[in-house]
Structure 1
Amino acid sequence: MAAGCTAVVLAAATATASARPCPQHTDPARQVLAAEDGWGAYGTGTAGGARADAAHVYTVTTWDAFKAALAAGGDAPKIIKVEGTIDADGPGCDSFAVPGYDFGTYLKTYAPETWGRDKDLSAEPDDSPEGLRRASQARQDAFVKAYVPARTTIIGVGEDAGFKGASLQIKGVDDVIVRNLTFESPLDCFPQWDPTDTADGNWNSEYDSAVVHGSTHVWMDHDTFTDGDHPDSTLPHYYGRIYEQHDGELDIVKGADYVTASWNVFADHDKTILIGNSDSAATAAVDRGHLKVTFHHNLFTGLVERAPRIRFGQVDSYDNHFVAGPGYGYSYGIGMESQLVAEHNAFTLPAGTGAGTILKKWKEAPVTAADNYVNGRRTDLIAVHNAEVPSEILRAGAGWTPVLRTHVDPPRSVPALVGRGAGAGRLR
């Protein structure tokens, strides 16, 4: 925290914050998350590398330099300033392929008419086409993932900073800020075919643009997430299924906690944001009581689903604008033991898309949804869902009341506010 300011300390989810906000520096790289600004402000708050000394402030223009800056300086707070667009794709997919890997051979070996659809590929040996695919994917994995240490701020300089093909790993650390960056989704060069995933099988890919894995106090602000030059519409089909080379844009998993995502753009993607990645008992043991996340003043546009899909977490989503396009499935996914509060949001749906699709019930879990507007009209999202989808009745009342909010804007003004202010290049 800035010198002389008091951290926000709360006794419980419904407690009242008593500490005064920390002052904001004029340099965006040294700004901290304001007191009461979402779950990221809980407890010690989120300051990232705000207290870095001059020796631990780095400016980078290449992927190698970025990774070196992440590794430098030991445990000291650090600031990494990104200039321009950094290409993390490397020299191309062919450079990651191990000797002997051939995609044509892979397709021929595991074609449904040859392999069938009742057994997966997990037991295939290392020298099989699947084994060579795994080895090739491991080489790409090592290249495109970058691991962020504790007490770090990563910030774009100007209006055109960001990454192509990077996967930012915020894993097992505390106190990270990521701001003013455009993330073009990584393109998995070696998706895996799983014949048992649905009745028809599916291609499954790796690499989210950013992953918050078991970490605490994370602030994602004024970032843009997109598929960029490789939208799903450009991807080929094999075995009658899309050759899916994208995973998520932002995943928050494995007991992660106290995250605020504000003034971001999530655009043109299928499976966008996952909070909690499994219903399993082992996952529940890690995630239950965690995954506390706030989304506010974000633009969700051109997405298919998961904005977000939630398991276990206490998620506060307010003052966001959701713009549905072709292929829209749903916005909020209500999953295992989730406690979603969705209030004061605006939704723009095309003609013929019912408001009942905004909520999708995956598991029995209560929801609070108040003061939301759909195409300019105040709409009870739970009531309209239950009327349009009577086979998936949702219960009202998430069981908690968010208090970690700063200014709440009326939902009628949200589309204009978010349209002017959200995304990379608009940090002031």
Structure 2
Amino acid sequence: MRRRLSRPAVAAPPWSGTGPGARRLRFWPAAVVAAVVALAGALLVPTAQAAIACRITYTVASQWDGGFGANVSVNNLGDPVNGWRLTWSFPAGQTVTQLWNGSFTQSGSQVTVTNADYNGTLASGASASFGFNGAWTGSNPVPTSFALNGVTCSGSANPSPSPSPSGPNPSPSPSPSPSPSPSPQPQTGLVGWATQGGGTTGGGNASPTTVNSLSALTSALSSGSAAVIRVSGTINCSGMLKVTSNKSVIGNSGAAIVGCGLNVTNASNVIIRNLTFRNWDDDAINVQYSTRVWIDHNSLSNGYDGAIDVKRASDYVTVSWNRVSSHDKTMLLGHSDDNGAEDRGHLRVTYHHNYFDGTNQRHPRVRFGNPVHVFNNYYRNNGGYGVASTEGAGVLVECNYFENVADPYHLGEASSGPGTLVARNNQKVNSGAGQTGGSVATIPYSYTCDTPSQVNSIVSAGAGAGKINI
């Protein structure tokens, strides 16, 4: 924290990003990565003519050996619902291991998810979303039938008399809309390094506590128990507020932390989502001596030092769907050249779908971590540089969109010696060639690269606070 460096020019070595340590990507077919399942129903209540009708979107956001992450959207097409229960059966013995934005039970193959206390009311046409991580063996086919409050969903407000798919009419899936949609929904679940080491669930299914004052927020963050902390309104503060283990810190609509930042130190299993940070006087989010941290869908601007810094042997971190603007030093990974004894073998971080909008440098600036994964980010009008790999770090830079960035990535930075960097499948518009060299360790998790030429529209539409239902 509070470290400023200036960067001299760096000479570019020859490119050699396909060495023996370079990995092969596993791309999962689109049929596995996303599926929209529509089934049907209407329920007439004898005295009120109330009808339930619904559409369910079930998306596999990421998949790895034995595990996967999924997002589910419940769209109410019928009369208003006050309290919902969604049920389905897994076709191949899959299990839910952790879930957010709701609670779940599972008996055999049947899963039941009920709403959280803040997303149980669905007006006609409204939606609620939840996500989960699961386990599978053999195969991971998507469920084909869902029921909302006991009524099978059809994707239509009109009851469908033919739930059986055995007939010749192929109408059950009439919406094969092409996947290059600007909606970021396919990868809003947890992806990347924070899925490793046991995964990241934050406060899990703890009953949410809403805070709207500095004293209430400070108390909730320091609790020794697992907690889901919902921040409401604007909280003004200074310095750094310590975040302890097993916490989900989630902003309600419009929530902002102004003047200070969150310090995740000596902690594990922390989620920070949907918050706006402004005018912090140190770092906005600092992670040190901590593991299994997910920083997602935040907006950050006009601060003093780092927007999101990760340092001091921290590990298993995902930084996703954040928007940073009007700021200089954005994301530092590894704080000092002389901290290698502590940091080597750690500092494994995934940066994906972040929007670096007119920021200057450190997107990220990396020391020691290998492999660090930088994919599907949108770089726009960055005055200094995009990515720097230094001090023996190994960084994979792929499927990003660079627009008006003269120096998209390079090796070494200021007094820091070079690391290695492999770049592939990046889209560059009015941007420099970049500098690469060496090889990078294998990425252990599965993920999906969006089409690089579409990343600017996907990320600008979906990054930042207020761009996700939480």
- Contact 2:273–2:297 (8 Å) recurs in 1: yes
Task: Name which of 242, 245, 257 aligns with 1:150.
Answer: 245
- In structure 2, what is the equivalent of residue 161 of structure 1? 255
* CA–CA separation in structure 2 for the residues paired with 1:307 and 1:224: 15
Task: Name which of 79, 82, 85 aligns with 2:231.
Answer: 82
* CA–CA separation in structure 2 for the residues paired with 1:357 and 1:343: 12
Report how many residues are paired.
299
Matched, 1:67 2:218: yes
- In structure 2, what is the equivalent of residue 298 of structure 1? 354
* CA–CA separation in structure 2 for the residues paired with 1:26 and 1:77: 15
- In structure 1, what is the equivalent of residue 160 of structure 2? none
- Contact 1:155–1:178 (8 Å) recurs in 2: yes
Cα 1:219–1:34 shift into 2, 3 Å: farther
Matched, 1:411 2:439: no
Matches within 5 A, 1:169-180: 169-180=263-274
Cα RMSD for the two superposed structures = 2.5
Q: Identity of aligned pairs, percent?
A: 32
1:327-381 deviation per Cα after TM superposition (whole angstroms, max 9, x unaligned): x0101112101100000000110xxx63x454353322221100001118xx8x7
Matched letter for residue 459 of structure 2: V
Matches within 5 A, 1:124-135: none
Matches within 5 A, 1:91-106: none
TM-score (norm 2): 0.60
1:364-422 deviation per Cα after TM superposition (whole angstroms, max 9, x unaligned): 2221100001118xx8x7xx335xxxxxxx41422x23242433211111111111111
Higher percent of residues as strand: 2
- In structure 2, what is the equivalent of residue 401 of structure 1? 442
Matched, 1:318 2:375: yes
- In structure 1, what is the equivalent of residue 402 of structure 2? 347
1:7-29 deviation per Cα after TM superposition (whole angstroms, max 9, x unaligned): xxxxxx99953134446444489
- Contact 2:363–2:387 (8 Å) recurs in 1: yes
Identify the structure with bigger relative contact order (alpha carbons < 8 Å, sequence gap 6+): 2
Higher percent of residues as helix: 1
Task: Name which of 405, 420, 437 aligns with 1:366.
Answer: 420
1:200-239 deviation per Cα after TM superposition (whole angstroms, max 9, x unaligned): xxxxxxx101100010000001001111xxx7xxxxxxxx
Cα 1:297–1:172 shift into 2, 3 Å: same
Task: Name which of 355, 361, 365 aligns with 1:309.
Answer: 365
- Deviation, 1:269, is 1.0
Residue 67 of structure 2 aligns to a residue whose secondary structure is coil
TM-score (norm 1): 0.65
Cα 1:51–1:366 shift into 2, 3 Å: same
1:60-104 deviation per Cα after TM superposition (whole angstroms, max 9, x unaligned): 1111110011234x3x21011001111114xxxxxxxxxxxxxxx
* CA–CA separation in structure 1 for the residues paired with 2:378 and 2:452: 9
Task: Name which of 249, 267, 292 aligns with 1:217.
Answer: 292
- Contact 1:33–1:46 (8 Å) recurs in 2: no
Larger radius of gyration: 2
* CA–CA separation in structure 2 for the residues paired with 1:403 and 1:34: 16
* CA–CA separation in structure 2 for the residues paired with 1:33 and 1:303: 33
- In structure 2, what is the equivalent of residue 385 of structure 1? 434
Cα 1:26–1:65 shift into 2, 3 Å: closer
Matched letter for residue 367 of structure 1: L
- In structure 2, what is the equivalent of residue 96 of structure 1? none
- Contact 1:216–1:257 (8 Å) recurs in 2: yes
- Contact 1:263–1:296 (8 Å) recurs in 2: yes
- Contact 1:185–1:208 (8 Å) recurs in 2: no
- Contact 2:193–2:350 (8 Å) recurs in 1: yes
* CA–CA separation in structure 2 for the residues paired with 1:66 and 1:303: 29
1:165-199 deviation per Cα after TM superposition (whole angstroms, max 9, x unaligned): 12201001110000000011313xxxxxxxxxxxx
- Contact 1:330–1:360 (8 Å) recurs in 2: no
Gaps of 5+ in 1: 1-12, 90-143, 188-206, 232-245, 387-393
Task: Name which of 26, 31, 44 aligns with 2:198.
Answer: 44
Matched, 1:275 2:333: yes
Cα 1:357–1:369 shift into 2, 3 Å: closer
* CA–CA separation in structure 1 for the residues paired with 2:373 and 2:132: 17
Residue 40 of structure 1 aligns to a residue whose secondary structure is helix
* CA–CA separation in structure 2 for the residues paired with 1:312 and 1:154: 29
Cα 1:248–1:177 shift into 2, 3 Å: same
Cα 1:32–1:319 shift into 2, 3 Å: same
Cα 1:33–1:183 shift into 2, 3 Å: farther
- In structure 2, what is the equivalent of residue 138 of structure 1? none
Residue 165 of structure 1 aligns to a residue whose secondary structure is strand
Matches within 5 A, 1:166-205: 166-187=260-281
* CA–CA separation in structure 2 for the residues paired with 1:415 and 1:405: 22
* CA–CA separation in structure 1 for the residues paired with 2:219 and 2:275: 19
Matched, 1:226 2:301: yes
- In structure 2, what is the equivalent of residue 261 of structure 1? 319
